[in-house]
Amino acid sequence: MGDPPSDGSAAERRSIRRDERRASLIEAALVVVRRDGPTASMEQMAAEAGVTKPILYRHFGDRAGLIAAMAEQVFVSLTVALDEALRSSASLRRVTRATIDIYLEFIESDPSLYRFLAHRTIVDQDEPGIVLTEYISRAGGQVAAVLDQALRAAGLDPAPAGPWAFGIVGMVHSAGDWWMEHGSVPRDVLADQLTTLVLQGLPELRPPVSNS
């Protein structure tokens, strides 16, 4: 007969089961948001998972905790994709366009989830935009690190890396919000337009010449 499992092994198995249960609850919540939109409630999420609301509270503390866990799962994949694009050896224009398109693709492919994370958290008093702010902070930090390296490699002052990075990320987010509501521009066109603005800036606009 083998030795009985140690307390450590039992604790590890409980931890694994708890993590698996937590992951299944998050997946159920995501299903509800994608199906029912940004007004999805905790009751609907619990029903989809086949549990009661107290079970959700036991795993996530409160609704804000559940939303933060959902956002973390989504934003981890975005963060990985963004890092791969930023570290690419492609041309500057292709790298810039790819990083911008990652965010736009998320909006286009998962609009209900985007609205839930970007807007539901802003209007709820107990969740004042923390979810989205966290992602913007991460993305800004990633872009800033790459810009810092690029400026140093070119023998230039790296001081603007931070302001430029967060300016770019904020611009793309705001443009994405506008696009979500209007949707009159194809994604590839918007990505090209924002890439041109980042790399070339605004064109020099001269006032019309008066004939008088």
Q: What is the pLDDT along the chain (212 residues), one digit of tens a residue?
A: 455 555 668 877 877 788 888 999 999 999 999 998 878 888 999 999 999 999 999 999 888 888 888 888 888 888 899 999 988 888 889 999 999 999 999 999 988 888 888 765 444 444 435 667 778 888 999 999 999 998 998 899 999 999 999 999 999 999 999 998 887 899 999 999 999 999 998 888 777 766 65
**All structural domains of the chain:** 14-61 (1.10.10), 70-198 (1.10.357.10)
* Separation CA 56–CA 54 (nearest Å): 5
Q: Please tell me the pTM assigned to this model.
A: 0.78
* Separation CA 68–CA 55 (nearest Å): 17
Give the CA-trace dihedral at 8, 10, 11, 12, to 10 degrees: 90
